[in-house]
Structure 1
Amino acid sequence: MLFNTFDFALFLPVVFIVYWLFKRSIKIQNVILLLASYFFYAWWDWRFLGIIILSTLVDYLIGLQLGSESRQLKRKILLWGSLILNLGILGFFKYFNFFIDNFKDAFSLMGAHFPDYTLNILLPVGISFYTFQTLSYTIDIYRNQLKPSKSFIDFAVYVSFFPQLVAGPIERASSLLPQFKRNRSINHSDVSEGLRQILWGLFKKMVIADNCAEYVNIVFNDPGGQSGSVLVLAVILFAFQIYGDFSGYSDIAIGTARLFGFRLMQNFAFPYFSRDIAEFWRRWHISLSSWFRDYLYVPIGGSRGSLINQIRNVFVIFLVSGFWHGANWTFLFWGGLNAIFFLPVLLRKRNRLHLDVVAKGRIFPSYNELGKIIITFIFICFTWIFFRARNIAAAFEYIGYIFDRGIYDIPQLDTLISTKMLISLIGLMSLIEWRGRTKLYALEGLENSLPQFPRWSFYSILIFIIGMYMYTEETAFIYFQF
């Protein structure tokens, strides 16, 4: 079930009403959320319910065993059991064909030929997200940083909680699981903030991302037929497409969870206002970046140790992050590029330089800050070419076309929405996000900063703009494929 559909527009209020009818019973509320989450997930393909239920049951039982076991060898065996099962399932569905194809290609260079073992495997939606969520649970128990859940229902709904099930944020059990054990009460502030964040997420997805996608798809499908300026514009629009799409999903997920009395972590902190690549990765897909930091980067040494070890660790974290995104060499190359861009910041020990928001307390950034933001954005856009291209050769071909064609020409391309209107809408979104860059999301606290009439006029304009695209083809969120 997609957030940007009429199906979800019917599903959400029904679950909301039924859920709050039982506000006196946490157990009944959790059961309602579990059933709603399984229904939400089964809407795509009910057969994949078996995988998430298996993962939930195994990690629940392993968590209980870890909590009562004191022998270190037995605890390691239990942890490895969880790792092998979860990563094995993820690896089979996501990477089986990739490894088989590359194995055959490698041996074909030596004259060996193997029969075609490629399977028609359908990737279960959200498997990369809920797998990492359950893994963090068992790892934290193993580290004695978390007590196991005694209630299977609480743990099951933590794994499958429908707002963030298929594309995050990837929540830690230490943060989200206790919320299923506490009394929740409905209040005006949570509902109004939740609806406001959902509205902003829908705007970013349906207005910005989907219309950028229309332009981007045309150009990337036929880069040879476009001018250099059109190719550059398409890369910039892809940067806003993926941001509007993924941060839009996160806004809808976080806002929806708030309607039910839950607080999810911030997943995007206005990353395109970053002043260097290190700040960008602290602000982009925060739940995944922090997951890799805590469960991979720090355990292998992080930024400690010799210079060689630091460089190795940076490449490990970015290459693994790239591979997490998909079974394609383009994602590995994208991760490697980010590692290369990150190294100068790390080696100069400036990776923790920009910890606060840019131009805090000021309306405008300084020229120095603006220059850093623009340079960082250019680097990020360059890496997005490899993320979007169908293969590495196509990415280099795309880059070659940029410099071979008229890069200074005014871009011209007919689409269903005019390019000028799209750029104007991106500008509107950017201005609103700049204004709210110190908040958890762009419209947070708007109720206290604007009088009622202009505030509701603004909401009406957003709803009207979103409504203009309600009848276009429904598009899935980009990160559903990961």
Structure 2
Amino acid sequence: MNFTNFWFYPFLLLVTIVNYLLPRKTRWVALLIASWGFYLSVDLRFAAVLLLVTVFAYTFSLRIADAVERAEKKRWLTAGIIALLIPLASFKILDFSSLILSAWFSSDNDAIIRFLMPLGLSFYTFTALAYLIDIYRGTATLQRSFPRFALFLSLFPKLIAGPIERATPLMTQLFDPAPFDHDRFVQSTVRVGWGLLKKIVLANRLAVIADAVFNAPDGRSAPVLIAGVLAFTFQVYIDFSAYTDIAIGVAGMLGIQLSENFKQPYFAQSVTDFWRRWHISFSSWLRDYLFLPLNFASRRKKIVLKPRKDGRSRSPFWQDLADHAFTYRNILVTFLISGLWHGSNWTFLAWGFLHGIFQAVELQRRHLHKTQKNHPLRAVAITFFLTTIAWIFFRANSIPDAFTILGRIGAFKHFFTLSGWDMSSLGLDFNDRLLAFFLVIIFFVIEVIERDTSFLHIFHQQKLWLRWIIYIAAIMAILLFGQYGGSAYSQFLYFQF
């Protein structure tokens, strides 16, 4: 059972009714039962892994909080981090081993990964790690009740693919719940519908095009490859933001506010800015629990350059590189780990490496050219180009495939021939391709609108009769134009991480 499964919505209706019928102080019990029931229905085999991570995080948080000496707290924190990382690292190694298994047995690697990787493991592990570190830092309130802590970690709207929530804001809402709010409930329900529309009608359609290109890039023309690359660039955003819309909407229906995860990332004016807008709960986790501690630990470290023999000073480039070498290293390490978090595949490491290099170069450019700024449109175009290049490595089945795609696009293979523009091999007929194109344009327009105000906020200000017309049209669009395609497209893209 997941957000695109029909049976999820009777389940949600039942949970919502029970949630508001119960006294406010006991609602969390129903949510705990519902969350574990949800996970058992999604991935019965690996419920023990979720329980193990929950027990580890709970036990070590108590040890850290009860320790008197700072050194003792640090020892318990270190032990807790290692304990929490063991399940994640073990399954990531199995993930990598699946590449070998798929080669041996000529089987579908994605199917093996789905079999081996517990759903949500990366997300709830990072949530648990943040909790332990915050308890150590004294920035989170300790939860001594094991069942209550289990609910915080396993709350079903955010369990499988985030957002990665911090402890104090979420626990406050769970154990001191807000009363029923009609407007909030309606707005949250509409957001669930908006997420379903994006996923089923648009993201799944783009997935067909992206899969056709990335699963067989050899021999394809540059225009077809560009179409596939752009299809994936929009698919990964629309698919993941659709999941986030549904997760936030479902939580909102229950009176819980989850963190926003996206802020028009493809309008970013630098790769650094992109990461302020993309998967925000994850990027802020990387910043607060990885990059900043690394930077703090190396704050006094510098590389001292030897004087030139001719007595002249070093060029600003080399001097800056020496002065900030450890900062650049920390950026690179952070994003290599980001790549590993997505999977133990060379393609994800390459994606993380590229994002680390892009941001290190941007930082050095800011150091050397403090007053020089790109025109906003030019900056957006450059950033979109760079992130799209990185997405090629993220989606490619192998590093050689990624270079094949880049090489054929760079060489303009069959770009100037009529046959090179034949898109009939993309897995969709002409009408579906045309529909996908116009839907991306509509989505782009909505993104432009949302730079200033929420599209859904504008929608809720319209007359009731107009909203009902749109409701009916949206339902008809999902039923008539939905791209279902079996289990391959029913899952959200980020469920595999």
What displacement does 1:472 show? 4.3
Distance in 1, matches of 2:382 and 2:340, equals 26
- The partner residue of 1:234 within 228, 236, 239 is 228
Q: What is the match of residue 84 of structure 2? A: 86
Please state whether the residue corresponding to 1:223 is helix, strand or coil. Answer: coil
Does the residue aligned with 1:43 lie in a helix, a strand or coil? Answer: helix
Aligned equivalent of 1:371: 378
1:356 is matched with none
Partner of 1:447: 460
Q: Give the structure-1-normalised TM-score.
A: 0.88
Query: 1:402, CA displacement in angstroms?
Result: 1.9
2:25 aligned residue:
26
8 Å CA contact retained: 1:208, 1:240: no
Q: Is the partner of 1:149 in helix, strand or coil? A: coil
SS in 2 for 1:264: coil
What is the SS of the residue equivalent to 2:261?
coil
Q: 1:160 and 1:136 mapped to 2: Cα distance?
A: 15
Following TM superposition, by how much is the alpha carbon of 1:72 offset from its aligned partner in structure 2, in angstroms? 2.1
Instruction: Tell me the secondary structure at the aligned position of residue 444 of structure 1.
Output: helix
1:137: Cα distance to partner?
0.7
8 Å contact 1:26–1:180 — kept in the other structure?
no
* Conserved? CA contact 1:30–1:153, under 8 Å: no
Matches of 2:158 and 2:473, distance apart in 1 = 28
Matched, 1:386 2:393: yes
Amino acid at match of 1:476: Q
Note if contact 1:233-1:411 (Cα within 8 Å) is conserved in structure 2. Answer: no
How many residues are aligned here?
A: 449
Counterpart in the other structure of 1:464 = 476
8 Å contact from structure 2 (residues 191, 249) kept in 1: yes
Between the aligned partners of 2:143 and 2:159, the Cα distance in structure 1 is 19
SS in 1 for 2:218: helix
How big is the alpha-carbon RMSD for the aligned residues of Structure 1 and Structure 2?
Answer: 2.4
Partner letter of residue 87 of structure 1? L
Change over 3 Å in CA distance of 1:25–1:119 after alignment to 2: closer
Matched, 1:330 2:347: yes
Retained in 2: the 8 A contact 1:67–1:147? no
Corresponding residue to 1:38 among 36, 46, 58: 36
Q: Which residue of 2 aligns with 1:75?
A: 73
Tell me the distance in 2 between the aligned counterparts of 1:101 and 1:429. 35
Partner of residue 14, structure 2: 14
Offset, 1:122: 1.0
Q: Which runs of 5+ in 2 are unaligned?
A: 101-111, 301-322
Asked if structure 1 preserves the Cα contact closer than 8 Å seen for 2:335 and 2:353, the reply is: yes
> How far apart in 2 are the matches of 1:197 and 1:393?
40
Q: Quote the offset at 1:25 in angstroms.
A: 3.5
1:195 to 167, 176, 189: 189
- 1:357 counterpart residue number: none
Cα distance in 1 between the residues matched to 2:484 and 2:389: 33
Distance 2:283 2:114 in 1: 31
Q: C-alpha displacement at 1:272, in angstroms? A: 0.9
- 1:59 is aligned, of 54, 57, 60, to 57
SS of 2:295 mapped into structure 1: coil
- 1:296-375 mapped onto 2 (5 Å cutoff): 296-301=290-295, 306-349=323-366, 368-375=375-382
Structure 1: how far apart are the matches of 2:463 and 2:98?
A: 61
Distance apart, 1:145 and its partner CA = 1.3
Matches of residues 190-269 of structure 1 in structure 2 within 5 Å? Answer: 190-269=184-263
Q: Which residue of 2 aligns with 1:477?
A: 492
Matched residue type, 2:345: N
Asked if the contact 2:193/2:246 (under 8 Å) is kept, the reply is: yes
Measured in 2, the distance between the counterparts of 1:120 and 1:210 equals: 18
Q: Structure 2 residue aligned with 1:412, among 417, 423, 426?
A: 423
Residue in 1 aligned with 2:281?
Answer: 287
CA gap 1:120/1:197 in 2 versus in 1, 3 angstroms: closer
Residue 6 of structure 1: how far off its partner (Å): 0.4
- Distance in 2 (alpha carbons) for counterparts of 1:233 and 1:130: 35
Q: Which runs of 4+ in 1 moved over 4 A?
A: 99-102, 118-121, 302-305
1:71-96 per-residue CA deviation (whole Å, 9 max, x = no partner) reads 22321222122111110110001224
**Deviation for aligned residue 1:398:** 1.6
| Unaligned segments of structure 1, at least 5 residues | 103-117, 354-366
Aligned equivalents of 1:187 and 1:97: distance in 2? 44
Counterpart CA distance in 1 for 2:52 and 2:128 is 11
Offset at residue 304 of structure 1 (A): 5.8
Deviation at 1:429, TM superposition (A): 1.3
Rounded to whole Å, the distance in 2 between the matches of 1:188 and 1:209 is 30
Q: What code does the residue aligned with 1:418 have?
A: D
Amino acid in the other structure paired with 1:201: G
Say whether the 8 Å CA contact 2:95–2:117 is kept in structure 1: no
Mapped pair 1:182 → 2:176: yes
Q: Is the 8 A contact 1:125 1:480 kept in 2?
A: yes
Change in CA separation of 1:481 and 1:350 when aligned onto 2, cut-off 3 Å = farther
CA gap of 1:350–1:242, structure 2 versus 1, over 3 A, is farther
How far apart are residue 454 of structure 1 and its match?
A: 3.1
Which region of structure 1 is more displaced relative to structure 2, 128-137 or 272-281? 272-281
Could you tell me how far 1:433 is from its partner in structure 2? 2.2
Query: Which structure has more helix as a fraction of its residues?
Result: 2
CA distance 1:333–1:389, shift in 2 (3 Å): same
Deviations 1:264-298 (A, max 9, x none): 11101111111111111100000110001000100
How far is the alpha carbon of 1:100 from its aligned partner? 11
Query: 2: CA distance between counterparts of 1:254 and 1:290?
Result: 18
How far the C-alpha of 1:130 sits from its partner, in A, is 0.2
For 2:237 and 2:79, the matched residues in 1 are separated by 36
Residues 95, 343 of structure 2: 8 Å contact kept: no
Report the identity percentage: 39
